Every structure is written in C-alpha cells, then in structure tokens.
C-alpha cells in the first residue's frame, strides 16, 4: 500500500489507470474518505459537533500524509490504520481530536476502503468490457456469413461462421458485465461495526450512522456489519474471475487462429522477436492469457480466506489485501487489452475459406450421410460415407468426387443434391438466427 515505485512487470499486467486507482496513494485516500464520511455521518446524527466533522474532513487529504511512513509502521500492528489515525489526530485542531475515528475499528476503515477501491476499478473494467462487447457485436454482424471451420478437440469438425464465434464471445462478455455491475451496485457495501460488530460505543445510534455513512460514500447499506462475513469479497472475486475467464477464452481463440499454419486472424500491432525478425507474435492475446492464467489462484486465495475467527480475524483478513489489488489490476489489464485487440483484429477471410476446404470436403460427411439415410437407412449410409471418405484420403480426391463417381450413391442422389450436400456455406443451421438473438440480447442489455 505504499506509493513507492511499482514493480518492473506492472505495465504488462495493469493499466496506468488501474495502477493509480489501486495504488498506495489511492488506498490512503480511500481510508481518509472513510474517516471524513464517518465524521460527517456522526455529525448528522448529532453524535459529534458539526465543527469537528468539518475540521476532520479538511484534514482528510492524502497529500498531508506520509504514505511510506504509515506503511512501514503498519507492520507493528498488522494494519496501517493505527498509524493513519494517529497521524490524522495530530493534523486536526485540538477540539476535533476526540472525535477522530469515533466508534470505528481498523477493519471498518480498510474494508470500506477496499469497497471504494473496488468500485473505482470496476468502473474501468466494465467500461473496457463494454467496449470489447461492442467490438464483438460489430464483428458478429459483419462476419455472419464468413464461413469458418468449427473445431472439436482441435480437429476440424463442421462449418460455422466467424460471426457466430464472435456472437458467442459477445454473450459471454455481456453475462460477465451483468454480474460485475450487480456486484458493483448491490454488493459493495460500507463496513462499520466497531471492535465487536455491534457499535456498542454509539448506543442505539449505530444503525443510523451506518445508513448515513453509506449514503455519504455512495456504497450499499448492509443489513449488519460484516467483519467476518466475507461473502462480499468472495462475490467480487468470483465475478472478476468469471470475467477473466471470458477474456482468456477470447485470447486463446485469437492465439490459435493466429498460428502460422492457420493464419485466420492477426492482431493489427503484432510483436516481434529478439532473435527471429520474421515473427509476428499475437502479443495482446499473449498478455491477456498471462493475466487470465494468474487470476484463479488469486480468487482461490480470497475464497480460502473466508473462514475467519469469531468477530475479528487473525490472519485471513490481512491475507486478502494484496490479492484483491492484484486481481483488480489483472482483470483491468485483460479487459483493456482485449478491447483494443478486437478493435484492430484482422480477419483473413481467404485463409478461413482455404481452411474450410483443407479436407477436400470431408467435413460435409455428416450432411451427406443424412441425405443418404433417407433412402438407405442410417447404418448403411454411415458405412457407405465412411468408405468413401477413406477412398478420398487414399486417392487424394474430394468427397464430392467420390460421391459423384459411386454408383450406389448416384442411384439415390442426383448430381444437384450431391453438390448441395457438399457445400459448406449451405450447412450452417441456425447460425443467422443465433447471431440475431445475440445481437438483440446485447441491444437489450445496453438499453437498460
């Protein structure tokens, strides 16, 4: 939580905006925002003088504090809040000193600060995810008839379209966005419970102060103080992990399609190699993948920290802080890079078409077998098409040629039906309808 120089690899796994809003100065200001809002709420509830609240608020500015000093002193108490409160009390005028941090405990400050930090980071993440979704919608519509070979277990399967692939990316992004927005709007709650979660020092005014404090900070009001109920942190981690998985899937697809032997996609600004001048590396997809690879471990750490002792944890709470920061930065970086990757994605339609023809029509065996089954029965049709596929491989011919030259096939299928049954662009099922459904669902989400 210091403002010292960021790590050597931080630019690879964060963005300048995400680093700033989750860095040491941002945490310091978020903790001070809690102290300012607490004083304001207590003044509104008649617990402390209005003048004291104004004086505390005047001093709750990060530039007035030595963040590095606070961070260094945190080790002696397992929290930076004690040093912060001591420094804040020294800043304010004498009449306001007794009212600093009134009724609060260290966890109130850090948990609420974590909610404020997360909200700011989520704004960045959601904005980039929405931008990525818009690019997917554009690509889905633009390439709804761009035939692409579908692959199953990394082998050629059946024809599909690149537009449908992008529509699938779109729906996954929209669902991830919806969950992140729900967490942001409903689950990021103020924390104020005092030392044991019952605000005993405030008497019957505790609930009123929580309500006023939540309103002052623009956070949700919890039913109860949630010191050792970590479902909010877990829900945030899960939503971020899901979004990361969606981004990782897109990056993986781009990497696979960018292989030299496939060459169906390319980034508009590929990276080079220190040794091989010819390389055109999909660096954005690589960095998104690297970020997504690290996220599950961080989510697991936050979930593992959920069981916490009694009313205040001894270790699991402290274990959350850095993984949460890293998680927010990684997902922010992945979302930002994915948005820009998609905006400049080069779709090589000629290579897609060439790869559809790579097996010389064998990918149409399913459809041909279905056509023949009407006359020959399913088992006989499957056996016949299987034999013709093997012949095509042996003779280095196409399935269409083998069908046209087989007397048993010609006895039940005309040349016109054979040509139609072996045309990949005519075997796309509900692709157009599915793309429309995805685009309509996306438009509906955007309208909300």
Q: Which CATH number covers residue 413? A: 1.10.40.30
- Separation CA 194–CA 177 (nearest Å): 34
Domain end marker among 311, 337, 353: 353
- Separation CA 145–CA 40 (nearest Å): 60
pTM for the full predicted model: 0.94
Nearest one of 19, 15, 17, 18 to 6, comparing CA atoms: 19
C-beta separation of 371 from 281 below 8 A? no
Q: How confident is the model at residue 2 (pLDDT cuts 50, 70, 90)?
A: very low
Q: Which residues contact 9 (CB under 8 A, 6 or more apart)?
A: none
Based on the structure, what is the number of domains in the chain?
Answer: 2
Whether residues 125 and 15 fall in one domain: yes
Stretch among 170-179, 252-261, 275-284, 431-440 having the lowest mean pLDDT: 275-284
- Separation CA 348–CA 229 (nearest Å): 51
Sequence-ordered alpha helix ranges (H) in 270-377: 283-304, 321-343, 349-356, 365-376
Q: Which of 69, 273, 378, 437 is catalytic?
A: 273
What's the domain range around 386? 360-426
pLDDT tens string 359-414: 999 999 999 999 999 999 999 999 999 999 999 999 999 999 999 999 999 999 99
- Could you give phi then psi for residue 52, rounded to 5 degrees? -65, -40
Q: Judge whether 430 counts as a catalytic residue.
A: no
Q: Which of 25, 73, 151, 312 is catalytic?
A: 312
Domain end marker among 295, 318, 353: 353
| DSSP letter assigned to residue 13 | H
pLDDT tens string 147-188: 999 999 999 999 999 999 999 999 999 999 999 999 999 999
Domain end marker among 353, 368, 403: 353
Whether residues 207 and 336 fall in one domain: yes
Whether residues 117 and 167 fall in one domain: yes
Which residue has 């996954």 as its token pair? 172
Q: Judge whether 120 counts as a catalytic residue.
A: no
Q: Which CATH number covers residue 253? A: 1.20.200.10
C-beta separation of 113 from 192 below 8 A? no
Whether residues 94 and 40 fall in one domain: yes
Collapsed DSSP state (helix, strand, coil) of residue 406: coil
């Amino acid at each position: 939580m210091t403002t010292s120089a960021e790590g050597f690899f931080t630019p690879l796994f964060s963005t300048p905006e995400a680093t700033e809003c989750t860095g040491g100065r941002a945490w310091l200001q978020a903790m001070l925002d809690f102290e300012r809002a607490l004083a304001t709420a207590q003044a509104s509830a008649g617990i402390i003088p209005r003048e004291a609240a104004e004086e505390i608020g005047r001093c709750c500015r990060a530039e007035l504090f030595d963040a590095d000093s606070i961070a260094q002193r945190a080790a002696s108490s397992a929290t930076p809040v004690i040093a912060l409160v001591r420094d804040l009390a020294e800043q304010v005028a004498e009449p306001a000193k007794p009212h600093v941090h009134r009724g609060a405990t260290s966890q109130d400050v850090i948990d609420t600060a974590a909610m404020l930090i997360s909200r700011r980071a989520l704004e960045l993440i959601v904005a980039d995810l929405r931008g990525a979704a818009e690019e997917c919608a554009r690509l889905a519509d633009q390439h709804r008839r761009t035939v692409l070979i579908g692959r199953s277990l990394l082998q050629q399967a059946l024809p599909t379209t690149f537009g449908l692939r992008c529509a699938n990316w779109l729906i996954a992004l929209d669902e991830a966005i919806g969950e992140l927005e729900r967490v942001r709007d409903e689950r990021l709650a103020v924390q104020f419970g005092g030392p044991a979660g019952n605000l005993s020092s405030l008497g019957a005014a505790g609930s009123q102060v929580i309500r006023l404090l939540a309103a002052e900070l623009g956070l949700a009001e919890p039913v109860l103080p949630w010191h050792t109920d970590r479902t909010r942190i877990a829900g945030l981690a899960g939503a971020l992990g899901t979004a990361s998985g969606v981004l990782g899937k897109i990056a993986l697809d781009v990497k696979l399609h960018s292989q030299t032997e496939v060459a169906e996609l390319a980034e508009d600004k590929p990276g080079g190699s220190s040794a091989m001048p010819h390389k055109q590396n999909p660096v954005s997809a690589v960095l998104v993948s690297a970020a997504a690879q690290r996220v599950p471990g961080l989510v697991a750490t936050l979930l593992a920290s959920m069981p916490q002792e009694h009313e205040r944890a001894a270790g699991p709470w402290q274990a959350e802080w850095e993984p949460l920061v890293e998680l927010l930065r990684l997902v922010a970086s992945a979302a930002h890079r994915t948005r820009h990757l998609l905006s400049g994605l080069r779709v090589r339609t000629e290579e897609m078409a060439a790869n559809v023809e790579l097996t010389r029509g064998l990918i149409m065996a399913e459809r041909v077998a279905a056509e023949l089954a009407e006359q020959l029965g399913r088992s006989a049709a499957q056996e016949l098409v299987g034999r013709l596929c093997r012949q095509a491989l042996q003779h280095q011919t196409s399935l269409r040629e083998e069908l046209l030259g087989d007397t048993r096939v010609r006895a039940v299928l005309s040349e016109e039906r054979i040509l139609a049954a072996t045309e990949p662009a005519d075997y796309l099922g509900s692709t157009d309808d599915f793309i429309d459904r995805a685009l309509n669902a996306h438009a509906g989400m955007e309208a909300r």
